[in-house]
Structure 1
Amino acid sequence: MSWGEIAGLVAAGAAVVFVALCAVPLWKLGGVMDELRLSVRKLGEGTTPILDELKGTVSTTTQEISRLSEVTEELAKMSHSASTMTEQAANVSTVVSTPLVKTAEVVGRTATAARDVGRRVQERRPRRQATAQAQLGAQPHVGRGDVPQPPDSLGRTSEHDLDHEQGQL
């Protein structure tokens, strides 16, 4: 064998060693790729139920949001109705209270006027009776038709006595 053949054999051996050394990392890289493939598969299997639950949650949330918007619209309508009712109640109270206040004022003035008239009548009654007695010659008032009335159970003999006791002077 010549030196050239030996060099060729060494080069071939070195190439085999080089390929063997490169095959080990490639072999390990293949194992890593298999593990990665299994992990992705497991992740896909675990993610599918989560995504299904998430889909259901999103669907339920969408329904609740639509209901919430309906409730918000109803609350806006109720608020508008309440403000309208408040305005109408204010109008009704104005319409009702104004005549009631005026009526109460008229009734109060009428009652005051009636009391004043009653006081004036009571003040003038003794003067009229005194004037009448003076015209009759200072005779006491005896009653109806100038016929003496018998005394009642309390000893009163005239209407004047009755009026005086009842406070109608």
Structure 2
Amino acid sequence: MSPGQIAALVAAGAFVLLVLLLAIPLLKLGKTLDEATIAIRKAHENTDPLFTEANQTLTHVNTQLERVDGITANARAVTGNVSALTSLFTATLGGPLVKAAALSYGVSKAVRARRKAAESPNKHTRRRPRGGKR
């Protein structure tokens, strides 16, 4: 054997050893990819019921939102009716009620002033304005 043939045999042996050393991680990587594929398949199979239930939940929520929208519209209509009724009440009875309240206040003040004047006959019954001329 010549030195070139020996070098070729050593190189071939090193190459076989390298292939064997690299084969182990490649086999492990293949198993890992198989397990990942199985996990992805299972996850895909389990998501169908989840999506179905989520869709049913969203449908139920939309139904409830439509009901709330109807209630809100009715509340808006009631608010408008109450506002109109308040305006009508203020327009028809507000002015006369204010006048009646002012009249009752004036009458009660006058009655108090007369009673006070009747209790103290020596004092002047009329008050003079402040800072005014005599």
Q: For this structure pair, what is the TM-score category when the shorter chain's length is used for normalisation?
A: 0.5 to 0.7
Tell me the distance in 2 between the aligned counterparts of 1:59 and 1:46. Answer: 21
What amino acid is aligned across from residue 31 of structure 1 in structure 2?
K
- The structure with the larger Rg is 1
Give the superposition deviation at 1:26: 0.7
Fraction of identical pairs, as percent = 34
Deviation at 1:85, TM superposition (A): 2.5
Instruction: State yes or no: 1:30 paired with 2:30.
Output: yes
Return the alpha-carbon distance in structure 2 between the equivalents of residues 7 and 62 of structure 1. Answer: 79
Secondary structure of residue in 2 paired with 1:65: helix
Q: CA deviation at 1:61?
A: 1.1
Instruction: Give aligned pairs, total.
Output: 98
Aligned to 1:146: none
Q: Which has the higher contact order (CA 8 A, sep 6+)?
A: 1
Deviation larger for 45-54 or 21-30: 45-54
1:51-90 correspondence to structure 2 within 5 Å: 51-90=51-90
> What are structure 1's unaligned runs of at least 5 residues?
102-169
Q: Distance in 2 between matches of 1:94 and 1:62?
A: 46
1:84-130 per-position Cα deviation (integer Å, ceiling 9, x unaligned): 223334455469x78xx8xxxxxxxxxxxxxxxxxxxxxxxxxxxxx
Kindly provide the amino acid, as one letter, of the partner of residue 36 in structure 2. L
Are residues 1:19 and 2:42 paired? no
Query: In the alignment, what sits opposite 1:5?
Result: 5
Corresponding position of 1:42? 42
CA distance in 1, matches of 2:14, 2:22: 12
User: CA shift at 1:34, angstroms?
Assistant: 0.5
Q: Match of 2:58, as an amino acid?
A: V
When the two chains are superposed, the root-mean-square deviation of aligned CA atoms in Å is 2.2
Using structure 2 for the length normalisation, give the TM-score.
Answer: 0.64
Aligned equivalents of 1:62 and 1:30: distance in 2? 47
Runs of 4+ in 1 over 6 A off after TM superposition: none
In structure 2, distance between residues paired with 1:70 and 1:30? 59
d(CA) in 2 for partners of 1:45, 1:82: 57
Q: Aligned runs of 1:106-125 on 2, under 5 Å?
A: none
Q: How does 1:118-157 map to 2 (within 5 A)?
A: none
Question: Structure 1: how far apart are the matches of 2:21 and 2:94?
Answer: 104
State the one-letter code of the partner of 2:6: I
